[in-house]
Amino acid sequence: MIEFINIEKSFFGVRVLKRVSFAVKPGQTIGLVGENGAGKSTLMNILGGNLRPDAGELRMNGQPYAPQSPRDAERARVAFIHQELNLFANLTIAENIFIGGFPRRVRWLPFIDSRKMYERTRELLREMNLSYAPDTPLERLSAGERQLVEIAKALAFEARLIIFDEPTTSLTVRETERLFAIMGQLRERGISMVYISHSLGHVLKLCDEVVVLRDGAVVGNEPASQFTLERMVSLMVGRAITQIFPKRDTQPASEVALDVRGLAQPGVARAITFQLHCGEILGVSGLMGSGRSELARILFGLDPCAAGDVRLNGELLNGLPPRDRIARGLAFLTEDRRAEGLCMEAAIADNVALVALPRFVRTWARFVSTADSRAAVATIRQAVKLTPSARDEQAVKTLSGGNQQKVVLAKWLLNEPKVFILDEPTRGIDVGAKHEIYRLINELAACGAAVLMISSEVEELIGMCDRILVMGSGEIRDTVEPHQFDRERILRAAIHDGALS
């Protein structure tokens, strides 16, 4: 179907792809894995016509393939299902599916054939097992349903090769299984797929072969049956990681850092009560829409709270804005680092210094001491092990996902908070970077900081936390102690219907 032959690509003299070669056969699903910065996105941008290779060639169905634009890739029946969906929430399902080329009544006249568009949309929605009408606004659909619309959009122009880039990041367990079922149907129809994911278990489950990239080169290309998780991780990071979750050498203290009593907000939270101790990592689990992220925003003062008390080291925080909560020792790492956690166009050093900026202001002149801030940034960079190749003045948008997350953590660490609220701290980063983030979280707890860790990955919470709160419909449905840690118990409490799907 598609063959990469000795693909080379460099940016500003730095080689990011080094003689990459592998092939995807008709009806085959290839897993493409590697750390952030390994070259996966660059390779797919070449396939999609956004970039041109410096050397090497692509061949499609045995013929030279050199797309000059995304439109060329679409004409070659190549489709992309991105982590950030290319859809318009204010348009209907049918309009989103045909946004790239509406059917016309007469080819040379600009009149849309609505009847034909709606008929074809109904057919595609039936294939996706979606019961919506074609004129339904996209904003009414869940994240998983929108993903299926994106696939329907690919099928509308008869795609023969579909690239899935981190497709399950924002999906619930049920939506993920639904997506996998659809992918199985696509395979039966002879459609080739490239599946890019940091969820290595999913890669082994779905793919026929696995291609491992490290530092821009292929270091593994074998049938999925030849891989184990451990071997895949070892090839990705260039070393063996014998234990993904670092061992904890400390225990929580009896002192309460964060005390939440009867927290309530109509439609969001109901009578939430818990205590977070110094040196403790307290997990929060639950399906999408359970109220996990909403709880975090209320605790940080971003969203209103109708009832209840929040105390930080005994001090009441009710009514205080985020600025004052930060000053009292609270930190919040948002789940969307790109939109809410970082100034993507700003320099790394400016992002790291952002929260602690008042510390570097010369009060007599009211200006920021660049020398003081840069010295502090240099120290905290070493603590989080930010990649040495990144310069302080470099825009944070140029970093890999894992290094961007380290910048967010560094930003808060510089302010020396007492309580960390971490919402999906490892979302969208590779296994090597996850290991580093886990290490940092453990070090925070060892130094006496309290950590509230929200995650959609149950295995992550089991591997990291001292206790786990399970949320659903805005309330705490279960508190799971270490001796009770069990994936099925946690999921059963989250689903709350007595049976797992």
Q: What is the pTM of this model?
A: 0.67
Same domain, 96 and 182: yes
Token couple for 288: 């999408």
Same domain, 303 and 426: yes
Indicate whether 245 belongs to any domain.
Answer: no
Of the candidate ranges 166-175, 190-199, 250-259, 455-464, the one whose mean pLDDT is the lowest: 166-175
Same domain, 393 and 438: no
Indicate whether 60 belongs to any domain.
Answer: yes
Same domain, 282 and 155: no
Cβ pair 199, 190 in contact under 8 A: no
Same domain, 47 and 182: yes
Q: Give the model's pLDDT for residue 15.
A: 84
Same domain, 365 and 351: yes
Indicate whether 249 belongs to any domain.
Answer: no
Residue 116 CB partners (closer than 8 Å, separation 6+): 103
Return the higher-pLDDT residue of 275 and 379.
Answer: 275
Reported as a single tens digit per residue, the pLDDT across 59-73 is: 999 999 999 998 898
Q: Which of 372, 391, 416 is the last residue of a domain?
A: 416
Percent of the chain whose pLDDT exceeds 90: 38
Taking the C-alpha atoms of residue 402 and residue 400, their distance in angstroms, rounded to an integer, is 5
Same domain, 378 and 463: no
Of the candidate ranges 75-84, 153-162, 450-459, the one whose mean pLDDT is the lowest: 75-84
Taking the C-alpha atoms of residue 408 and residue 384, their distance in angstroms, rounded to an integer, is 10
Same domain, 92 and 191: yes
Indicate whether 231 belongs to any domain.
Answer: yes
Reported as a single tens digit per residue, the pLDDT across 311-331 is: 999 999 999 999 999 999 999
Same domain, 350 and 427: no
Which CA distances in Å does 261 have to 98, 129, 328, 403, 466? Answer: 50, 43, 19, 36, 20
Indicate whether 243 belongs to any domain.
Answer: no
Q: Give the model's pLDDT for residue 501.
A: 33
Q: Which of 374, 393, 416 is the last residue of a domain?
A: 416
Return the exposure string of 234-259: e unless at least 16 CB atoms fall within 10 Å of the residue's CB, then b: bbbbeeeeeebbbebeeebeeebbbb
Indicate whether 247 belongs to any domain.
Answer: no
Residue 289, classed as helix, strand or coil, is: coil
Q: Which of 371, 399, 416 is the last residue of a domain?
A: 416
Number of structural domains (the chain) is 3
Same domain, 380 and 391: yes
Cβ pair 8, 56 in contact under 8 A: yes
Reported as a single tens digit per residue, the pLDDT across 371-407 is: 778 888 888 888 888 877 778 888 888 887 778 888 9
Q: How far apart are the first and last CA of the chain?
A: 35
Summary mean pLDDT of the chain = 86
Asked if residue 500 has pLDDT above 60, the reply is: no
Give the mean pLDDT of 80-101: 82
Same domain, 262 and 192: no
Same domain, 317 and 387: no
Residue 64, classed as helix, strand or coil, is: strand
Q: Residue 452 is part of a domain; what is its CATH number?
A: 3.40.50.300
DSSP letter string, 145-200: HHHHHHHHHHHHTT-SEEEEESTTTT--HHHHHHHHHHHHHHHHTT-EEEEE-S-H
Reported as a single tens digit per residue, the pLDDT across 195-226 is: 998 788 889 989 999 999 988 899 999 999 99
Indicate whether 242 belongs to any domain.
Answer: no
Q: Give the model's pLDDT for residue 355.
A: 85
Give the mean pLDDT of 249-257: 92
Range of the domain at 369: 339-416
Asked if residue 238 has pLDDT above 80, the reply is: no
DSSP 408: H
Give the mean pLDDT of 21-40: 88
